[in-house]
């Protein structure tokens, strides 16, 4: 990452003089600048605002944050004082901090099982919402509603998690969502025999249906877009060959939406970073409020690196199975 | 799927004229092979059962989504005593507007709304413009290091805000040239506006990507015509591309508004006293205690606090909900059309 930052800086420097010389040269000569070259400069012109911003508001902070995670950070006169401590902060975060490792583990495990569920669920709903039926517009409007609410603090309150607002007795609030309905149902049906793991798994999924439904708004949106892009010729061909809906789904729908599966996967993971119910994020914010910048940076980097590695791995594997239509 | 077979059925029954539909059907079934008959039967069963199944699924899940909203409305208009009354589930026993009024005061709603709107609309607007410029640059021009620079855009999408929020804080705290001058920008709107102007605001990486994909999808002939007529690239962009990108602009703008509206992580990093609705809602209990009961130590039972919390939620989502209801089409169709498959 540091390498990238340095490269980007040099790019920015290279552009600046190039643009200057272009401006200084007399008009006659400038016109002689080859069209392709001029276009290149225009390209830099269009992205120049972003380049400046990225340097100051993204790359420098990124490098700094990495630097902070190896330092004892304190506030000095007019700037931050840093004092190199090597891996001590990482050691502290992983071994001494009472909450971080638990939060990290929980958040990662949640991401791990929730992401596939969100993907399957949203594809399923997208297929349904893509069919013709009465009340389709209304259903779509309802299912996309989480898009506008689920990224904010309102979601935190309605999902019954009010710990961070200092409410300890919040458990009773969420009774409606956490009642052990599935457990009761299983007992009612006389199913005790399934192994405990299995029934825990089922009830976890069922208890979390709220979370899954609420975090798949934009994924449904993207899948629906993909479904609408399936060429009608493919549908007709499948019909003429007498494909059942089941075959149609596996042989036509899935290959066509496969690029979106990866996009949605990445989107789901990114969304979980900034989800208001993400405890790691809450812990980092709490650390920052105690002015422990070094620890907070180390926490953020550990979390980010693990997730980045996971995304990279999944992308590598999934990419082999994706069907890209040749353009 | 059903349509074609439906059409076939009709045309065949016409041919078999004189027979009742039932007879015609029987006759047709006899003329088929066993495999075909099986297929038709399965299809008929599926066509009958599926709509019911679909309705049950959509209704159930729709309820999961709407439940909190209905509950919100129900809580807002009840007295706090109703919360502990086990007989009250949906319809309040004591209808009251007091909770709503109290929450309005506690959140300082109208001022907060004003701040939020200024921040929100302004930031979203400049961010959309800057992201569109950048996206266009990436979509249409070839330049050195383009791959690397676009890699940075992808990094912007992937890196969580938490990683860069702290150094950004110090950067804004001591903003300026080291040794010459520094100013404290914390708690001013510049902390939100400056990244937005330079295409680095909340989720701007994603917006750049959306614009890039969108502009790549527009026909190149449009610009070539403009170039031949002597238009410069910037003029071409303003005169030719923007008019064609109306829906993309609106979609990105709407999502930007939503994301700024819901953000409280970035704003609570940079703001201390400036309050947006999202921040107010997060700190609602403290505000409630201070403004309503004039003391920070009053104990209200958590269960009774819910009425104010839900009222706060209702207040803070109402504006965005109205926006959603009015512009629903652009929310649901826009992002799919602009297509961000190219990741």
Among residues A276, A272, A283, A297, which one has the least CA distance to residue B264?
A: A276
3-state secondary structure of B251: helix
pLDDT score of B81: 75
CA distance B130 to B24: 66
CB pairs under 8 A between A and B: 304
- Residues of chain B in contact with residue A131, where contact means CB-CB under 8 angstroms, are 54
Task: Look over chain B and give the mean of its residue pLDDT values, rounded to a whole number.
Answer: 81
Residue of B nearest to A291 (CA): B166
CA distance B264 to B276: 8
Is A180 near chain B, with CB under 8 Å?
Answer: no
CA distance B264 to B279: 6
Determine which helix (DSSP H) or strand (DSSP E) holds B181, and give its type and residue range.
Answer: strand B181-183
CA distance A135 to A258: 28
pLDDT score of B128: 93
Interval A177-194 mean pLDDT = 54
Indicate the pLDDT class of residue A24, thresholds 50, 70 and 90: very low
> Complex ipTM above 0.90?
no
Interval A237-249 mean pLDDT = 84
Residue of A nearest to B66 (CA): A142
Is A226 near chain B, with CB under 8 Å?
Answer: yes
pLDDT score of A6: 45
Backbone φ and ψ for B145, nearest 5 degrees, come out as 65, 15
State the smallest CA–CA distance between residue A70 and chain B in angstroms. Answer: 14
Is A59 near chain B, with CB under 8 Å?
Answer: yes
Residue of A nearest to B134 (CA): A47
Is A79 near chain B, with CB under 8 Å?
Answer: yes
**Interface contact A224-B42, CB threshold 8 A:** no
Q: How many CA atoms lie within 13 A of B166 on its CB side?
A: 33
pLDDT score of A17: 47
Is B298 near chain A, with CB under 8 Å?
Answer: no
pTM surpassing 0.90? Answer: no
pLDDT score of A174: 41
- Residues of chain A in contact with residue B33, where contact means CB-CB under 8 angstroms, are none
If you search the block for the tokens 């207040």, which residue do you land on? B315
Among partner residues B151, B233, B316, which is closest to A154 by beta-carbon distance? B316
pLDDT score of A97: 80
pLDDT score of B15: 52
pLDDT score of A123: 93
pLDDT score of B122: 93
State the smallest CA–CA distance between residue A125 and chain B in angstroms. Answer: 8
Residue of B nearest to A173 (CA): B303
Return the axis-axis angle of helices B302-326 and B98-107, rounded to nearest 10°: 80
State the smallest CA–CA distance between residue A156 and chain B in angstroms. Answer: 9
- Residues of chain A in contact with residue B332, where contact means CB-CB under 8 angstroms, are 140-141, 144, 221, 224
Indicate the pLDDT class of residue A161, thresholds 50, 70 and 90: very low
**Interface contact A143-B282, CB threshold 8 A:** no
Q: Which tops the pLDDT comparison, A74 or B50?
A: B50
Strand partners, B182: B176
Is B98 near chain A, with CB under 8 Å?
Answer: no
State the smallest CA–CA distance between residue B68 and chain A in angstroms. Answer: 6
Q: Which tops the pLDDT comparison, A273 or B208?
A: B208
Among partner residues B66, B144, B341, which is closest to A259 by beta-carbon distance? B341
**Interface contact A47-B194, CB threshold 8 A:** no
Q: What is the pLDDT of residues B253-291, one digit of tens each?
A: 988 998 899 888 788 888 888 788 888 887 777 777 777
Q: What is the pLDDT of residues A95-145, one digit of tens each?
A: 888 888 888 888 888 888 888 989 999 999 999 988 888 888 888 888 888
| Residue A258 pLDDT greater than 70, yes or no | yes
Is A296 near chain B, with CB under 8 Å?
Answer: yes
Is A221 near chain B, with CB under 8 Å?
Answer: yes
3-state secondary structure of A74: strand
**Percentage of residues of chain A with pLDDT beyond 70:** 73
Is B148 near chain A, with CB under 8 Å?
Answer: yes
Indicate the pLDDT class of residue A314, thresholds 50, 70 and 90: confident
Q: Which tops the pLDDT comparison, A220 or A204?
A: A220
3-state secondary structure of B110: helix
If you search the block for the tokens 């005061």, which residue do you land on? B105
C-alpha distance across the termini of chain B, in Å:
32
Mention every residue, 6+ apart, whose C-beta is less than 8 A from residue A19: A41, A44, A45
Residue A209 burial by CB count (10 A; 0-12/13-18/19+): exposed, middle or buried?
Answer: middle
Is B329 near chain A, with CB under 8 Å?
Answer: no
Which two structure tokens, joined as six digits, stand for A146?
Answer: 């989480």
Question: Is A172 within 8 Å of A162 (Cβ atoms)?
Answer: no
**Interface contact B66-A140, CB threshold 8 A:** no
- Residues of chain B in contact with residue A259, where contact means CB-CB under 8 angstroms, are 341, 343
Among residues A41, A45, A9, which one has the least CA distance to residue B133?
A: A45
- Residues of chain B in contact with residue A1, where contact means CB-CB under 8 angstroms, are 155
- Residues of chain B in contact with residue A152, where contact means CB-CB under 8 angstroms, are 261-264, 278, 316-317
| Residue B165 pLDDT greater than 90, yes or no | no
Among the listed ranges A82-86, A243-247, B8-12, B311-315, which one has the minimum average pLDDT value?
B8-12
Residue B290 burial by CB count (10 A; 0-12/13-18/19+): exposed, middle or buried?
Answer: middle
Mention every residue, 6+ apart, whose C-beta is less than 8 A from residue A251: A238, A243
Is A313 near chain B, with CB under 8 Å?
Answer: no
| Residue A20 pLDDT greater than 50, yes or no | no
Task: Look over chain A and give the mean of its residue pLDDT values, rounded to a whole number.
Answer: 76
Angle at A162 between CA A120 and CA B107, to 5 degrees: 115
pLDDT score of B123: 93
pLDDT score of B342: 41
Is B166 near chain A, with CB under 8 Å?
Answer: yes
| Residue B16 pLDDT greater than 70, yes or no | no
Is B56 near chain A, with CB under 8 Å?
Answer: no
């Amino acid at each position: 990452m540091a390498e990238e930052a340095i490269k980007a800086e040099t790019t920015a420097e290279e552009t600046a003089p190039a643009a200057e010389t272009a401006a200084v040269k007399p008009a006659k000569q400038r016109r002689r600048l080859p069209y392709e070259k001029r276009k290149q400069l225009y390209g830099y012109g269009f992205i120049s605002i972003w380049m400046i911003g990225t340097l100051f508001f993204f790359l420098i902070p990124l490098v700094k944050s990495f630097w902070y995670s190896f330092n004892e950070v304190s506030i000095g006169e007019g700037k931050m004082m840093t004092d190199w401590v090597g891996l001590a902060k990482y050691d502290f975060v992983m071994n001494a901090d009472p909450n971080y490792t638990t939060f990290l583990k929980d958040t990662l495990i949640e991401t791990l099982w929730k992401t596939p569920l969100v993907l399957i669920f949203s594809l399923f709903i997208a297929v349904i919402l893509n069919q013709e039926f009465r009340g389709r517009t209304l259903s779509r409007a309802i299912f996309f509603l989480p898009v506008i609410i689920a990224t904010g603090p309102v979601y935190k309150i309605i999902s019954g998690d009010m710990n961070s607002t200092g409410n300890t007795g919040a458990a009773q609030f969420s009774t409606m969502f956490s009642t052990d309905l599935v457990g009761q149902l299983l007992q009612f049906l006389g199913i005790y025999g399934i192994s405990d793991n299995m029934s825990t798994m089922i009830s976890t999924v069922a208890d979390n249906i709220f979370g899954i439904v609420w975090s798949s708004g934009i994924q449904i949106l993207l899948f629906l877009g993909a479904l609408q892009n399936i060429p009608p010729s493919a549908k007709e061909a499948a019909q003429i060959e007498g494909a059942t809906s089941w075959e149609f789904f596996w042989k036509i729908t899935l290959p066509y939406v496969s690029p979106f599966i990866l996009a949605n996967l990445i989107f789901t993971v990114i969304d979980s970073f900034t989800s208001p119910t993400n405890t790691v994020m809450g812990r980092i914010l709490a650390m920052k409020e105690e002015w422990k910048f070094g620890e907070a940076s180390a926490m953020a980097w550990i979390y980010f690196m693990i997730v980045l590695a996971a995304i990279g791995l999944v992308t590598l594997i999934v990419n082999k199975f994706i069907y890209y239509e040749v353009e | 799927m059903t349509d074609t077979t439906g059409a076939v059925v009709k045309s065949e029954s016409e041919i078999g004229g004189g027979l009742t539909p039932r007879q015609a059907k029987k006759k047709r079934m006899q003329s088929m092979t066993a495999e075909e008959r099986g297929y038709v039967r399965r299809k008929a069963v599926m066509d009958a059962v599926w709509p019911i199944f679909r309705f049950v699924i959509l209704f159930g899940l729709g309820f999961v989504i709407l439940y909190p909203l209905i509950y919100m409305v129900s809580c807002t208009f009840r007295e706090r005593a109703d919360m502990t009354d086990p007989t009250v589930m949906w319809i309040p026993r004591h209808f009251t507007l007091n909770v709503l009024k109290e929450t309005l005061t506690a959140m300082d709603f109208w001022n907060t709304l004003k701040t939020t709107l200024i921040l929100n609309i302004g930031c979203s607007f400049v961010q959309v413009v800057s992201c569109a410029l950048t996206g266009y640059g990436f979509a249409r021009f070839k330049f050195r290091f383009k791959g690397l620079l676009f890699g940075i855009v992808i990094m912007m999408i992937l890196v969580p805000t938490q990683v860069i929020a702290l150094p950004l804080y110090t950067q804004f705290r001591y903003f300026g040239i080291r040794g010459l001058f520094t100013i404290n920008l914390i708690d001013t709107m510049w902390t939100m506006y400056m990244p937005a102007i330079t295409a680095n605001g909340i989720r701007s990486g994603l917006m750049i990507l959306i614009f890039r994909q969108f502009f790549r999808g527009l026909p190149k002939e449009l610009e070539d015509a403009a170039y031949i007529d002597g238009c410069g690239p910037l003029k071409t962009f303003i005169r030719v591309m923007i008019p064609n990108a109306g829906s993309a602009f609106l979609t990105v703008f709407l999502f930007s508004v939503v994301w700024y509206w819901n953000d409280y992580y970035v704003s609570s990093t940079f703001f201390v006293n400036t309050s947006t609705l999202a921040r107010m809602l997060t700190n609602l209990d403290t505000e409630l205690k201070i403004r309503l009961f004039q003391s920070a130590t009053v104990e209200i039972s958590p269960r009774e606090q819910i009425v104010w919390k839900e009222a706060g939620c209702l207040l803070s989502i109402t504006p965005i909900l109205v926006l959603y209801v009015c512009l629903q089409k652009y929310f649901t169709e826009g992002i799919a059309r602009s297509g961000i498959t190219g990741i």
